[in-house]
Structure 1
Amino acid sequence: MNTQLLTDLLAGKFICSIAFEQEYEQLKAPEVRAEVELWLAGIDRRLAQLGEDGAYFAAPMQIMAPHAAKVREDLKHFRDVYGPSVRMLNLIREAKEGFSCSPGDYVQLADIESSINESSTLESHLRSMHGTITGASIKHNNREFLKRMLENLKDAGYLVLSNPQNETYRVTGKIDHLHAVLEFISEHEPVISTAPEDEAQTEDLVLKAALEDGKSDV
């Protein structure tokens, strides 16, 4: 069995055809999936997938109170956990025509730099994130600022560097998880901030957000 594949799954990585092409192809084989599922079961984990062709990831065998509480807290603190990546991806969407924020989409630094330089509004949006983008400073020019933004998204697992020569990145399958979380929040925002006495109901909804939500094959 590929030990690197298991290591990536246990590290919380989303194994998709873009970021982990070889490992993803391995998991498409029923015999490999069965072997991985058996191994994960030994540590109370299971193999889950985001949709029929989406990324694979390791999930708890059963959702216990600590697991649900962790997801619930992440949703309550959306701005800190998901907000920075959402802001960065939204800026790319505004700067790059036709960008759908879907797995496989390409993002070239030069393209979005050109759009930012031509729009004072987009440049203002970019500069407003100097406290959000790790390593960015208001002293940096737009290109340096954008480079750090794309590297932040890469570090978060939403992009991979597909062509270092022309600084082109590609959106990974992990983006589907972010879409599922955003959809869940939009539908259940009042419940996420529920009172402590309603925690049982919240945990049921959190389970759907984390593993089902119509997007995960569990």
Structure 2
Amino acid sequence: MFKQVAEALLSGHFICPTAYPDAFEYLSQASNADKINAFLKLLDRELFDLDGELFYAAYTVVDDSNRPAIREAFSEVRSQLRPVVEWMDMVMTALGQDMPIRARDEIRLHQLLQALEHEPSLAEQLNRLTQLTLFKTSKTSVHDQLLWVLQKLEQTGYLARPNQQASMYIATGKINYLHQVIAFLNDAENLELDQHATGGSGGEQQELFL
């Protein structure tokens, strides 16, 4: 299991109980986590535990050898912010929820579909979602558009479907990671970070965040 978990972390996967139950259970044992972390440190990375819901590997050193990869990874997450956040807003409204989606929350296709089909404004919001790059599609029916969006969220790791024959999706720990990214970016904007004034430290903080 050590090899599989180490390779998954180095490949940028987010280990949570929903998407990777066996790997998550392995890392939940302190002795195993210590072994993995010791290995990652040899590669200038470190094992992070987010809210007890997610493990991922972050860089501890930023240099010319890894800066392009870090920027690419961060850019990918940032490109997903708007569509995923708008999707979460749509789900909150459709299901009458007060709190945004978090890890382990259940999303039932038929329940969500029923809400969207009975509220034109939500159906229009879904249609706008499918114009964004992450969810781009030429599908026109509410059912097909919703299924497509859920499938894309599954492909990008924000949702998992434990039973492939069922229509229930479960939010993964990557959703919690996205919330952390949003908080980080909000803090950065509030501080009005100036990379030129700080000698680029703000940029390196962004890179270290992954």
- Work out the CA distance in 1 between the residues paired with 2:82 and 2:159: 16
Match of 1:188 in 2: 188
- Work out the CA distance in 2 between the residues paired with 1:54 and 1:172: 8
Match of 2:44 in 1: 44
User: What's the secondary structure of 2:83's corresponding residue?
Assistant: helix
Deviations 1:110-159 (A, max 9, x none): 1111011000100110111222244522x431111001101111112110
Structure 2 residue 59 is the aligned partner of structure 1 residue 60: yes
- Work out the CA distance in 2 between the residues paired with 1:198 and 1:118: 52
After the TM superposition, which of the residue ranges 66-75 and 97-106 deviates more from structure 2? 66-75
Size of the alignment, in residue pairs?
Answer: 206
Deviations 1:139-180 (A, max 9, x none): 431111001101111112110013333310000111111111
Structure 2 residue 90 is the aligned partner of structure 1 residue 74: no
Match of 1:92 in 2: 91
Match of 1:175 in 2: 175
Quick check: 1:72–1:206 contact (8 Å CA) kept in 2?
Answer: no
Q: Which runs of 4+ in 1 moved over 6 A?
A: none
Gaps of 5+ in 2: none
Match of 1:158 in 2: 158
TM-score by length of 1: 0.81
RMSD, aligned CA = 2.9
Match of 1:34 in 2: 34
Quick check: 1:14–1:173 contact (8 Å CA) kept in 2?
Answer: yes
Deviations 1:13-68 (A, max 9, x none): 111111111111111112211221222223222211113x1211111132447279
- Work out the CA distance in 1 between the residues paired with 2:199 and 2:155: 32
Match of 2:137 in 1: 136
Give the superposition deviation at 1:192. Answer: 6.2
Quick check: 1:192–1:202 contact (8 Å CA) kept in 2?
Answer: no
Gaps of 5+ in 1: 212-218
Quick check: 1:91–1:125 contact (8 Å CA) kept in 2?
Answer: yes
- Work out the CA distance in 2 between the residues paired with 1:62 and 1:205: 11
- Work out the CA distance in 1 between the residues paired with 2:30 and 2:194: 41
- Work out the CA distance in 2 between the residues paired with 1:193 and 1:69: 19
Inter-CA distance 9–195: structure 2 relative to 1 (3 Å threshold): closer
Give the superposition deviation at 1:71. Answer: 8.0
